[in-house]
Amino acid sequence: MKPFRMRMAHSLISAYELDQYMEVIKPIPATSNEMTRFHSNDYIEYLKRASPEFAEKQQLDTQKYLNFDDCPPFDGIFEFCSISSGGSISGAQKLNHGDSDIVINWSGGLHHAKKSEASGFCYVNDIVLAILELLRYHQRVLYLDIDVHHGDGVEEAFYSSDRVMTVSFHKFGEFFPGTGDLKDIGIGKGKHHAINVPLRDGIDDDTYSSIFQPIMQKVIEVFRPGAIVMQCGTDSLSGDRLGCFNLSMNGHARCVQFMKNFGIPLLCLGGGGYTVRNVARTWVYETSVLLNKEVSKVLPYNEYYEFYGPEYVLDVPKSNMDNQNSPQYLEFIIKSVFEYLRHVQHTPSVQLHEVPPDWPGFDSEAEAEMLDQDADANMETRITTLQNDRHVTTMNELEVDNDDANDDDSDTYLVTTSSGRTVRLPNPQSGRHRRQARNTKQKTSRGSKITTKSTRTNRNTATSTNGNIQTNKDDVNEKSTKETNTPDEFIGDIYKHNGTASRPVRSNSSILSNESTEKKQEIENKNYSEYKSEEEKEKESVEEKATDEKEENIGEEKKVDEYKSASDAETTQDQEATSAVVGDVKNVETENNEMDVDSNIQDGEIEKAVDEIMEAEETVQNNNDVEENQKDDLESANNL
Ligand SMILES: [Zn+2]
C-alpha cells in the first residue's frame, strides 16, 4: 500500500504518454475538517499526531484507533491520508461541476477505514468522503468495489441510506474482513441498497464477467445513479500476494470498460493490490481503457522498467488455479441479488418515493393554482409548509412518530379550483403540519438557513443524526457538541458557497489559469520536453537492447545492470511534471529499499496465505452446507 505503487503506475502512464489525453491535476490535500465529515474528531486528532513515538506513548488511544498488524503508525501518516482523500474529494468535485466525465485517483480507494478506526491498511476513507461530496449534487450515487476484499467501510457508512447503493464483489469465507455476506442487504431505508456478491477462490475472467455484467446491468437499470464511484482494487488479480482470485489484467479491465460504457460520471479509485508490478500494469491499462486509447503490449522504457522483467509486457495472465465457483453457485447468487433488486425496482425513483404519499396526481394547471393559493395564504412566510412538502424529499420530521397517535385530524383537505378540478391541499391545522412548523422554527432559531434540500442530504449521509446507523451512533453526540463538525454545519457549508460549493484550489494547481501558474506550467513543460527528448533516446536504445537480448537469450542479470545504469543517468528534474492525479509522491526512497521491503512482505504473506488456504479448505464443507440452507431458504421464499 505504499505510494511506490502509484509512482510506478504514474511513471508507466507517462511513458505511454497517456497523460497527454487527460487533464492532470494536483489536488490540494484534504483538511482534518473535511475528514470529519465522516470520521470522528478524536480519531482524526489522533491521526494528526500519530508518529510511531506518539503511538508508543499513547498506548490506550493507539489500541483504540489503530490495529498494529495492519495499520501501524508511521511518519507522515496524516499527510498520506490528506493526499489520498484530497484526490478523491477533488475528483468528486470535478464530476459535480461537469469539468470531467471520468476522474482517476489511483491513490484512493481505501475502503476499509471506519469512522473511528483504521482497518486493513486504510486510515482515512477517501471513498466515503468523495461520495458525500457527490451527494451534494447527485440524488443517487452508486459505489462499486472489485477489490478481492469486501468494501466494508463504505458499506457500513451508507448501510441505512437509499441514496447510495454499495455493490461489492469479493472473496467471502475465512477471509478478511469477514463481512459481506449475501444476506447483508442494508437496513431501514437502506434495505436492498447494499449488494454483496460473495465469491470463492480461483474465479477467472469469464466466470467473473458472467456474474458481474448481469448484476451491474440490473443495478444501473433499477437504481439509476447520477454518478458512480468504482474501487478498482487489483488484489483480485491472478497471482496477488494477498488475493485468491484468478483474474487476468484484461478480465479486471473488462469490468472498468463495462462501467464506462454506461456513460455515467465515473470516479475510478485504486485500492488493494500487493504484487506491485501487476498493480501498476493493470491501472495503466485501465487508464488507457478509460481514455479509449490503445496501448502497445510492449512496455516502453520507464523509471521502473526492471520491475517488469523478464517479460517486459503489459499483461497479467491468469494461472491454471482451480475455480471453486460452480455455475450452480453463481446462478444462485445472481438469482438472490436479482430478488433483492426487485424491491429497488419497485421504487420508481427517489424523487417519487420521497413525495408524501397523500398528494397524488396533480396536473400542472391544478398545481400552479394550488401554489398560488398557498403563496397568497402565506405571504409572510419565506418557505411555506406546502413548499416544504413539495421538495424532492420530505424532512425527517415528517416521519411517523408517537405524536401521530394523538392526531386525529386529517393532514389534507379538498378544494375545487377555478378550472373545476378538485385538488387536495395540506391542512395547516393538522398535527403533522403543526409539528413541521414547530421544527422549522427550531431550525431558524439555530441560526442556519437550511432548506429541505440540505435536510435531505443531512438525513441520508453518513453523518446523519437520525441515529439509525450502527457505527455512527456513538459518535453523533460528540459531533453535535463540537460546533465546527455538526452535520448541520457541514450542510450549511454547501449553501455558504451558494450551490457551487468547492474546496479552495491551491494556487499552483494546474487547474488554475492565472498568470503565475501558466508561467510555471511553461517552465515545467519545457523541462518536461527536454527530459522527454533525453528519455526518448534512452528508451529507444534500451528497448532495442531488450529485444535483442530476448532473442539471443542473454541472461537477466546483464540486462538489469544496463537498465540500472540507464536509470542512474536519469535526473530527477521532472519531479513536478510527473506528480499527478495518481498521487503527489514526495518521499523518494531508493528502489533497492523498496525491493527489500517487498521481499520481506512476500515471505511473511506467503506463510499467511498458506495458513488461510488450509483454513479455507476446512471450511469448504461448512460453506457447502450453508449454501444448501440458503438455497432452501430462497426456494421457500419464492414459494411464499
Ligand atoms: Zn483488498
pLDDT band for position 396 (cuts 50, 70, 90): very low
Whole-number Å distance, alpha carbon 271 to ligand 1 midpoint, is 6
Name the nearest CA neighbour of 274 among 333, 233, 315, 316: 233
Give residue for cell 479509485.
269
Find all residues with CB under 8 Å of 447, minimum gap 6, and list them. none
Distance CA 118, CA 214 (A): 34
> Which residues fall inside 5 Å of ion ligand 1, going by CB?
147, 149, 233, 235, 272
Instruction: Report the percentage of the chain scoring pLDDT > 70.
Output: 54
Cα–Cα distance measured from residue 333 to residue 465, given in angstroms and rounded to the nearest whole number: 34
- Supply the pLDDT for residue 471: 30
Q: 106, 102, 142: which is closest to 126 by C-alpha?
A: 106
Which three cell numbers, joined as nine digits, stand for 322?
482451480
Q: Tell me the C-alpha distance between 322 and 280, whole Å.
A: 26
Quick one: average pLDDT of 49-66?
Answer: 85
Which whole number is the average pLDDT over 167-184?
97
Q: How far apart are CA 406 and CA 431, in angstroms?
A: 8
Residues 145, 137: Cα–Cα separation, whole Å:
22
Model pLDDT, residue 371: 59
Q: What is the pLDDT of residues 511-561, one digit of tens each?
A: 233 334 455 445 445 444 443 444 455 555 555 555 555 555 444 444 444
Q: Is the pLDDT of residue 430 over 80?
A: no
Determine the distance separating the centroid of ligand 1 and the alpha carbon of 592, expressed in angstroms.
25
* Comparison of pLDDT for 57 and 248, the residue scoring more: 248
Cite the active site residues. 112
Q: Which residues pair with 422 in a beta bridge?
A: 416
Residue 527, pLDDT score: 42
Do residues 556 and 309 make contact, with C-beta atoms less than 8 angstroms apart? Answer: yes
Interior CA angle at 421 toward 415 and 422, to 5°?
A: 35
Is a pLDDT exceeding 70 seen at residue 252?
Answer: yes
CA of 157 to the centre of ligand 1 (A): 18
The pLDDT tens digits of the residues spanning 96-105 come to: 999 999 999 9
For all residues of the chain together, what is the average pLDDT? 71
Reported as a single tens digit per residue, the pLDDT across 180-216 is: 999 999 999 999 999 999 999 999 999 999 999 999 9
Question: Nearest Cα to 153, choosing from 177, 181, 132?
Answer: 177
* Cα 146 from Cα 122, distance rounded (Å): 16
From ligand 1's centre to the CA of 16, what distance in Å? Answer: 27
Q: What is the pLDDT of residue 89?
A: 97
CA of 216 to the centre of ligand 1 (A): 20
In the 8-state DSSP scheme, what is residue 583? Answer: B
Across the strands, what pairs with 231?
Answer: 145, 269
Residue 144 CA to its chain's centroid (Å)? 7
- Rounded distance from Cα 149 to ligand 1 centre (Å): 4
Name residue, grid cell 385530524: 409
Q: How far is the CA of 370 from the centre of ligand 1 (A)?
A: 54
Q: How many angstroms does the Cα of residue 526 sit away from the middle of ligand 1?
A: 39
Distance between first and last Cα of the chain: 48
* CA 488/CA 161 separation, integer angstroms: 18
List, for residues 590-629, the tens digit of each pLDDT value.
333 444 434 444 445 555 654 565 565 555 555 555 555 6
* Angle, alpha carbons 229-480-441 (nearest 5°): 100
Dist. CA 318–CA 251, nearest whole Å = 9
Please tell me the number of Cα atoms within 13 Å of 484 on its side-chain side: 8
Beta bridge partners of 142: 165, 228
Interval 349-374 mean pLDDT: 46
| pLDDT at residue 557, as a whole number | 47
Question: Among 305, 286, 301, which Cα is nearest to 15's?
Answer: 301
Domains and CATH numbers, the chain: 3-343 (3.40.800.20), 354-384 (no CATH)
Separation of 148 CA from ligand 1 center, angstroms? 5
277 or 563: whose pLDDT is higher?
277
Q: State how far the Cα of 237 lies from the Cα of 146, in Å rounded to an integer.
A: 10
Q: Which of 332, 267, 354 is nearest to 92 (CA)?
A: 267
422-426 and 412-416: which strand pairing? antiparallel
Residues in contact with 611: Cβ distance below 8 Å, sequence separation at least 6, in sequence order: none
| Residue among 181, 1, 5, 47 at smallest CA distance from 582 | 5
From the CA of 341, how far away is ligand 1's center (Å)? Answer: 26
* Of 349 and 93, more confident: 93
Q: Which pLDDT band holds residue 577 (cuts at 50, 70, 90)?
A: very low
Cell triple for 133? 461530496
pLDDT at 556: 44
Q: What is the pLDDT of residues 400-412, one digit of tens each?
A: 333 333 333 444 4
Cell numbers for 356: 408524501
Q: How far is the CA of 91 from the centre of ligand 1 (A)?
A: 22
Q: Which residues pair with 282 in a beta bridge?
A: none
Distance of CA 34 from the midpoint of ligand 1 (Å): 25
Q: How far is the CA of 285 from the centre of ligand 1 (A)?
A: 19
Tens-place pLDDT, residues 466-497: 323 223 333 333 333 333 232 332 322 222 22
3-state secondary structure of 228: strand
306 CA distance to ligand 1 centroid (A)? Answer: 26
**Overall average pLDDT of the 149-155 stretch:** 98
Rounded distance between C-alpha atoms, residue 629 and residue 634, angstroms? 9
Q: What pLDDT does residue 25 have?
A: 92
pLDDT the model gives residue 491: 27
CA 169/CA 191 separation, integer angstroms: 18
Query: What gap in Å lies between CA 241 and CA 260, rounded to an integer?
Result: 28
Indicate the pTM of the whole model. 0.59
Query: Residue 628 Cα, ligand 1 centroid: separation in angstroms?
Result: 28
Rounded to whole angstroms, how far apart are CA atoms 588 and 591?
Answer: 9
- Can you list the alpha helix ranges (DSSP code H) found in 406-555? 431-445, 452-460, 473-481, 487-496, 515-552
Q: What is the DSSP-derived secondary structure letter of residue 398?
A: G
What pLDDT, on the 0 to 100 scale, is given for residue 51? 86
Distance 601 CA to ligand 1 centre (A): 15
Confidence (pLDDT) at 358:
28
From residue 495, how far is each of 449, 451, 454, 463 by CA, in Å? 9, 9, 8, 17
Which of these ranges, 165-174, 231-240, 487-496, has the smallest mean pLDDT?
Answer: 487-496
pLDDT at 399 over 70: no
Question: pLDDT tens-digit profile of 312-360?
Answer: 999 999 999 999 999 999 999 999 999 999 999 655 444 434 433 323 3
Please report where in the chains the cell 496501448 appears, as a residue: 295
Measured distance CA(321)–CA(316) in Å, rounded: 14
- Confidence category of residue 631, pLDDT binned at 50, 70, 90: low
CA separation for the pair 461, 132 (Å, rounded): 7
The pLDDT value given to residue 54: 85
